[in-house]
Structure 1
């Protein structure tokens, strides 16, 4: 069949089917949720940190967020639909206040019609489409969501869908699937989405509507309907076995947001934030495509009995977009897996070897069950870290690094305890509540576990309680901060019960002893390392509508070292060193390569030959970078990146260079002390 004729037929068919009535029954608000709406309105205005006035300004933002949540890729609504629906942009605040949420259902029912008609058509006609796709034509699919606009006509939207399906088919073809398997996968994929649509009920619509409102206040205030509330509480208590990853719906995909330190996924080392899960397979069973599936259903598939295996087919967030399968053994995230651990890094200088101790702290933990049971030997991050410090001192360390990379937070009390190990006494963090009252928490025992030179190692995933410790030690001049700017999560949430479900609401903000908030900006390191983590995509500032950075009055606290005075010389020595460091050279090359690849993927080629050439070039580029690094280190080259076992390659260039920087700091201080002593002697 002629390509243009096929496309014309398909577009005409799309145009016809798009005006057909939906088979789904229109949803209506349940009376109980109208009452919850009024309750939510009151709680947000009185309980939220910012004391918001929910008015037309909030309503207009919520309207936009609601539309974005329903149709994030602008795949179903037309520009004319949005113009028609815009009459409701000032109605969201009234709907919440008055407990009349019909507006949310009116918008949703139109969305449901558009989705139902298109997906049902696709399900029926995918076989014919796949059989006639021509992969030799130089078609392209724009892939920059920030630049995508609402389609003006059905024909424009149909063209987009034709290319989108062709891209999906080509991706599967390049993964080795024949036409029959491609047809089966895509048909099942759209059946999943139809099933998802059919499963959506009035409660789901209310939750989407409610969270469009809460999202206008900050990204951490959320409403959980009863089922979502149950899932949230399960996640908080870690009472089900899984892979130890925080997942999020991202258009039709399931995206990895964060890996839990000590969890199976983090141990496995082949998953990363922003990777997309496209299929899940149980042990000994075929993979099940999960594109278009509800997030809670995907989570249910990933969870399972402890000790069993689950396979995830993922599309990596960086590098080649060819999917790969990762096998993970399910298990609970055990306290001991998240416990503090020690290590020693040997640094050779001028014929001598210096020992730098490093304490890896994945989270701020405390065994509350053991405490309640009266166990005097209960585990906590502060107790364990103190014990490890004593062991490291006996082993003759000259400096200490506290490694808070990927530490997403935990117990506030433990964060205060950890910081208190390195100062005799003093404030650690200030907390400002919704009424403007400021409370300072601090260390009062007058004791110090380690008073020597130290550094804190951070990355973009160091968040919340990690930022409290990092900020305190920076303000006191007690530690060099090395690595990346931290996440920027400086708010406190409280979970409140409602008539139906729960509300997680932001009620306070963290501030450093200097008065600076950790919110939004995070903590800026003294010496910054290059990072593969894109701060535009990960971190508080990358989230929707974060609360701003601000400052309050500083508390009284002493300073130990003026770290800013050391930074220029330390930075100079660091830069000179990494110019010749194979790991950092490879890291810089990889960052540059990923940026180039990201630009390239903003327009996706639908030509098979071009796509294969692009994928081959990316794999070759990544392999060349790795083998250049390996050659410089005296390691054997590999034929494929898949041949590398991350568990055997235990090199940690960040920790190694942090040790070098800390030793530079020690040497500068020793030299300054010698010069001062000599000056004093000469004056006498």
Structure 2
């Protein structure tokens, strides 16, 4: 019924006249909107105005919000536009709504074309500065964050900003030991690449940026997904795709193999290796090879992907060959690839306390993934986060672990259904979360299966990057008293999104309009509170690494407010309330005497000072002095780590990260082998927060063992049955 109404609204909508936008003749050149994009924008506007959780009409007031968000999306640090540009575009503030209804997106595309021209100009000026060099004996500073600053008043002011930016780029490389000749080569190549990158953008890229400015002007978590973005989102949810089984990266205009997926066609062929460069792609053995040198990575990836069991022919320049080296042709049969690296994983960690040895099961969950389509079709083997965790819990029980820690750090969410079912693995039947729709109706969403996969001691590790579905799970475990929540306060996202396929609404035979990921509801804890803005507050808090002023729901000026609803009918277990103060005391004592934690807190304090200062010296002597102080701090932490652990290899994660000194390079400028080695070093570095979380669970186990009354745990339950969970929720 909704689809039918939307189509009628779209078909009968009255178009308004597009507003004119005159900022100079050069804006008529460049990228232009396609008719289907203008139609998609109109349809999206109708959907957003009617079915968003916070429906807002597309009028002059909304137009101004879109305008501001669009500028922020294009130039967040105010490094390209100047105030005169903004003044020239000011007529668009209240006319973008008319442009959308009139299905004429010429004006927002003209804004982008002006932006592209400014990008060329700024980086062209940067390249010219390289010929002059710099005087590093002068006392001046560079401000590296400008988002909250006003727009530069003139071209002269902007040129001064860029002079300091280029000088800072040069100084970073100089401090890393590069010669002036090397520095000029690196930076000229970097700035030229930035100019080429803007040239490679297409009409669909501009449309996606503009439409996201529209959706995010309503709320921070509604998004427009173009055809390629929708495909990528689908892959991230189902953790599978059809391809050759290789992770690719863009290096010096080459599409380079960064990783081979074990068991994939690329790895099994034995003909490809890390560092090989793909310079051509052909569909089938007899197809014409398309030269992809200099292509955007996503365009090359789109050529390599295809239908399962079909053939793709790759023209490959081997890793060890020079630019004029001998190529090799590699034919591969595309297969369905499961992205196991992004799936739930387990480990068993050993904790020794005196004569006692504890075994703690660790489950790391990167996201709440779910193959919606396979599940709806009744596929018994559909990919599911909850099912994978259930399997891992079964294996951990066989390995006789004493406790389980669920690591949700930087897990930004995913499927609502999966968060409910994952909670059910630890509480059995009962309410998990409450959902309020746009009409104010509140529904209790329950887990409906009574099977408990793990009834023993439990911990949930979160940080500021834990959001949405992660917060539902952590909040439910906390409200039931089922386990200890450990870490930083979470992100604070308390909204539910659902996918609206615009092509289905418009009854298009072929996909061309894309999709809307739109906020449709707000969720609440079973105790009646919400994670919105405030997040989940841990039972055992760790030092806050991220800055709440820069990262989290509360940083969005249009986030939904915090509110409360009636608590659901559930029965919490109270035993952890008695244990928590004792565990907290032990945690605080360890932190006070743990050299790794002391170094971590010093790092956090130093980072906060740098963010507050928001500038660096451009004087070489001063920068070298700062570098010497940092190296002394590093050595001090390394020494402390050796004294505390007896082995420098056990040094803390912050010490490891600082050991990787600033080389002044960007990611795509580093040697691939070095980049992979550094990445491995970061992964292998001691995780001091995880280590302390394991100790906390060890404390819980020892306290339970010491007191039989604590060991007799009750499984939390809630009487009655509630409404079934929404299966299409994306969080």
| Shift in CA distance, 73/39, structure 1 to aligned 2, threshold 3 Å | same
2:405 to 401, 404, 409: 401
Mapping for residues 510-529 of structure 1, pairs under 5 Å: 510-529=523-542
Mapping for residues 504-583 of structure 1, pairs under 5 Å: 504-542=517-555, 545-561=558-574, 563-564=576-577, 566-583=579-596
Q: Is the 8 A contact 2:360 2:401 kept in 1?
A: yes
190-199 vs 424-433, which deviates more?
190-199
Q: Is the 8 A contact 2:44 2:502 kept in 1?
A: no
425-434 vs 99-108, which deviates more?
99-108
d(CA) in 2 for partners of 1:409, 1:222:
15
* Corresponding position: 1:588 with 2:587: no
Match of 1:56 in 2: 60
Match of 2:483 in 1: 479
| Residue 63 of structure 1, CA deviation | 1.6
| Residue 136 of structure 1, CA deviation | 2.3
| Residue 555 of structure 1, CA deviation | 1.6
Q: Is the 8 A contact 1:223 1:504 kept in 2?
A: yes
| Residue 51 of structure 1, CA deviation | 1.4
| Shift in CA distance, 579/47, structure 1 to aligned 2, threshold 3 Å | same
Q: Is the 8 A contact 1:139 1:607 kept in 2?
A: yes
Q: Is the 8 A contact 1:424 1:445 kept in 2?
A: yes
Q: Is the 8 A contact 1:586 1:626 kept in 2?
A: no
Q: Is the 8 A contact 1:22 1:116 kept in 2?
A: no
d(CA) in 2 for partners of 1:204, 1:367:
27
Q: Is the 8 A contact 1:220 1:493 kept in 2?
A: no
d(CA) in 2 for partners of 1:671, 1:474:
23
Q: Is the 8 A contact 1:517 1:550 kept in 2?
A: yes
Give secondary structure in 1 for the equivalent of 2:218: coil
| Residue 571 of structure 1, CA deviation | 2.4
| Shift in CA distance, 167/569, structure 1 to aligned 2, threshold 3 Å | same
d(CA) in 1 for partners of 2:396, 2:353:
18
d(CA) in 2 for partners of 1:302, 1:426:
44
Match of 2:224 in 1: 223
Match of 1:173 in 2: 174
d(CA) in 1 for partners of 2:380, 2:202:
50
Match of 2:136 in 1: 135
* Corresponding position: 1:433 with 2:437: yes
Mapping for residues 432-511 of structure 1, pairs under 5 Å: 432-490=436-494, 491-498=496-503, 500-511=513-524
| Shift in CA distance, 21/616, structure 1 to aligned 2, threshold 3 Å | farther
| Residue 375 of structure 1, CA deviation | 8.1
Match of 1:654 in 2: 689
| Shift in CA distance, 621/416, structure 1 to aligned 2, threshold 3 Å | same
Match of 1:4 in 2: none
| Shift in CA distance, 626/91, structure 1 to aligned 2, threshold 3 Å | farther
| Residue 45 of structure 1, CA deviation | 0.4
d(CA) in 1 for partners of 2:226, 2:371:
30
| Residue 216 of structure 1, CA deviation | 0.9
Q: Is the 8 A contact 1:282 1:310 kept in 2?
A: no
d(CA) in 2 for partners of 1:234, 1:366:
10
* Corresponding position: 1:162 with 2:154: no
Q: Is the 8 A contact 1:243 1:303 kept in 2?
A: no
d(CA) in 2 for partners of 1:98, 1:153:
34
d(CA) in 2 for partners of 1:674, 1:163:
66
Q: Is the 8 A contact 1:95 1:103 kept in 2?
A: yes
| Shift in CA distance, 47/528, structure 1 to aligned 2, threshold 3 Å | same
Q: Is the 8 A contact 2:351 2:698 kept in 1?
A: no
1:372-412 deviation digits (Å, cap 9, x = unpaired): 99886777544554455455456555544333334343443
Q: Is the 8 A contact 1:119 1:193 kept in 2?
A: yes
Q: Is the 8 A contact 1:342 1:388 kept in 2?
A: no
| Residue 42 of structure 1, CA deviation | 0.7
d(CA) in 1 for partners of 2:422, 2:150:
49
Give secondary structure in 2 for the equivalent of 1:345: strand
Give secondary structure in 2 for the equivalent of 1:439: strand
**Structure 1: 5+ residue stretches without partners:** 1-18, 248-261, 265-280, 287-294, 312-330, 678-684
d(CA) in 1 for partners of 2:709, 2:116:
76
| Residue 65 of structure 1, CA deviation | 1.5
Q: Is the 8 A contact 2:641 2:648 kept in 1?
A: no
1:32-78 deviation digits (Å, cap 9, x = unpaired): 43333321221110121211223333222222122222332323332
1:177-234 deviation digits (Å, cap 9, x = unpaired): 4444433333333433433444445544433332222111122222234454455555
Match of 2:44 in 1: 40
Give secondary structure in 2 for the equivalent of 1:430: strand
400-409 vs 365-374, which deviates more?
365-374
Match of 1:681 in 2: none
d(CA) in 2 for partners of 1:578, 1:385:
31
640-649 vs 621-630, which deviates more?
640-649
Match of 1:183 in 2: 184
Q: Is the 8 A contact 1:283 1:309 kept in 2?
A: no
| Superposed CA RMSD | 4.4
| Shift in CA distance, 447/121, structure 1 to aligned 2, threshold 3 Å | closer
d(CA) in 2 for partners of 1:364, 1:309:
38
Match of 1:419 in 2: 423
362-371 vs 588-597, which deviates more?
362-371
Give secondary structure in 1 for the equivalent of 2:296: helix
1:319-362 deviation digits (Å, cap 9, x = unpaired): xxxxxxxxxxxx9663376234241433526x544444444444
* Corresponding position: 1:334 with 2:322: no
1:645-667 deviation digits (Å, cap 9, x = unpaired): 74895754434433443454456
Mapping for residues 269-308 of structure 1, pairs under 5 Å: 283=275, 297=296
d(CA) in 1 for partners of 2:59, 2:609:
43
* Corresponding position: 1:605 with 2:626: no
Q: Is the 8 A contact 2:237 2:369 kept in 1?
A: no
d(CA) in 1 for partners of 2:356, 2:579:
23
| Shift in CA distance, 182/569, structure 1 to aligned 2, threshold 3 Å | same
Give secondary structure in 2 for the equivalent of 1:493: strand
Give secondary structure in 1 for the equivalent of 2:351: strand
Q: Is the 8 A contact 1:302 1:310 kept in 2?
A: no
Match of 1:631 in 2: 643
| Residue 456 of structure 1, CA deviation | 2.0
| Shift in CA distance, 568/201, structure 1 to aligned 2, threshold 3 Å | same
1:78-133 deviation digits (Å, cap 9, x = unpaired): 2233234323322223332343434324534544454444544555x345323xx2
d(CA) in 2 for partners of 1:377, 1:109:
48
